[in-house]
Amino acid sequence: MIVCLGNTLLKEAMLNKDVQELLKVQKLDKEIVKLNGEIEKSQKKAEEKETKVKVQTNNVETLRKEIEELLEDKKFKDELLNESVENLKKLEEKTKSVTTEKQFSAINTEIEISKTNEDMLEEKLLSIIGSIEEKKKSVQEAEASLNSAQKEMDTLKQTTGGNINQIKKNINEIEKRKKILYKDIDVKIIKGYEELNRWTKGTSIVPVKQGACYGCFMKITPQTFTTVKETNEIVFCPNCGRILYYPENEEE
């Protein structure tokens, strides 16, 4: 042991060679985690835009349906009005042929009812026409808004696709650099590290600070601490299973 060669050398000698290399790998893994985060973020943005477009599409469809229903209602009431007009004509024709006061009065009552009916239908039809006009305006606005949202979505999808492809290329490059580093590390240790990394996301190897694992922040026993600090064994945190190392400067 090179105890006499000063603190730094001693510590470097103590840090397990594989762990030293894995720390370089971990730096790359942190970059990958960051890049994957960027991918997720831009995918989320695109999804949000897509949801907006869906909502707006539904809105346009609802308005169109409402217009259709109003048009059907208008058609129905138009027919009723025509019938009423025809009926009124017939009644007025009938008045020419009545002979008694009683008949006349009866027809007159019918005519009054028919006229009231007509007035009501006309009023309703006017209101329906007004609603149709209003809805048509709304649907035009909604369509314009949907149109621009769709364009925005298409542009965003294109740029997002391009960005994601670029990020994936960068990740591939980093993976290649990782593989080069892996050449010098024991396969079993690589496997263990990769397994840890599945959930630690770039924090598989952590320093011990103030007697605690810097991954799960649980205190480790003095015995484990001594093993980490004074031997070059690979030590795992008894609580979370991360690989522990003693940093050059504990306050770092």
Residue among 235, 237, 243, 245 that touches Zn ion (CB under 5 A):
237
Pull the structure tokens for residue 234: 């690979």
Our CB check for Zn ion shows the closer of 135 and 242 to be 242
Q: Is 239 in the site for Zn ion (CB under 5 A)?
A: yes
Biggest CA–CA distance in the chain, Å, is: 139
Q: Is 209 in the site for Zn ion (CB under 5 A)?
A: no
Interacting residues with Zn ion between 48 and 67 (CB under 5 A): none
Our CB check for Zn ion shows the closer of 139 and 240 to be 240
Contact range with Zn ion by CB under 5 A, out of 63-71, 132-140, 144-152, 206-214:
206-214
Using alpha carbons, select from 130, 135, 128 the residue that is nearest to residue 63: 135
Using alpha carbons, select from 133, 131, 151, 129 the residue that is nearest to residue 56: 151
Q: What is the 3-state secondary structure (H, E, C) of 72-94?
A: HHHHHHHHHHHHHHHHHHHHHHH
Q: Is 240 in the site for Zn ion (CB under 5 A)?
A: yes
Q: How many residues bind Zn ion (CB under 5 A)?
A: 7
How many of the other CB atoms lie within 10 Å of CB of 204? 24
Q: Is 225 in the site for Zn ion (CB under 5 A)?
A: no
Using alpha carbons, select from 187, 209, 203, 189 the residue that is nearest to residue 240: 203
Our CB check for Zn ion shows the closer of 142 and 213 to be 213
Residue among 207, 215, 245, 246 that touches Zn ion (CB under 5 A):
215
Q: Is 216 in the site for Zn ion (CB under 5 A)?
A: yes
CA torsion angle 245 248 250 252 (round to 10): -110
Q: Is 207 in the site for Zn ion (CB under 5 A)?
A: no
Across the beta sheet with 243-245, what order do the strands follow?
A: 212-213, 205-209, 243-245, 235-236
Q: Are 243 and 22 in contact (CB under 8 A)?
A: yes
Q: Is 213 in the site for Zn ion (CB under 5 A)?
A: yes
SS3 percent helix, strand, coil of the chain, rounded to 5, is 80, 5, 15
Contact range with Zn ion by CB under 5 A, out of 22-30, 89-97, 121-129, 229-237:
229-237
Interacting residues with Zn ion between 29 and 48 (CB under 5 A): none
Q: Is 208 in the site for Zn ion (CB under 5 A)?
A: no
CB of 215 to Zn ion, least distance (A): 4
Our CB check for Zn ion shows the closer of 128 and 208 to be 208
The contact set with Zn ion (CB under 5 A) reads 213, 215-216, 237, 239-240, 242
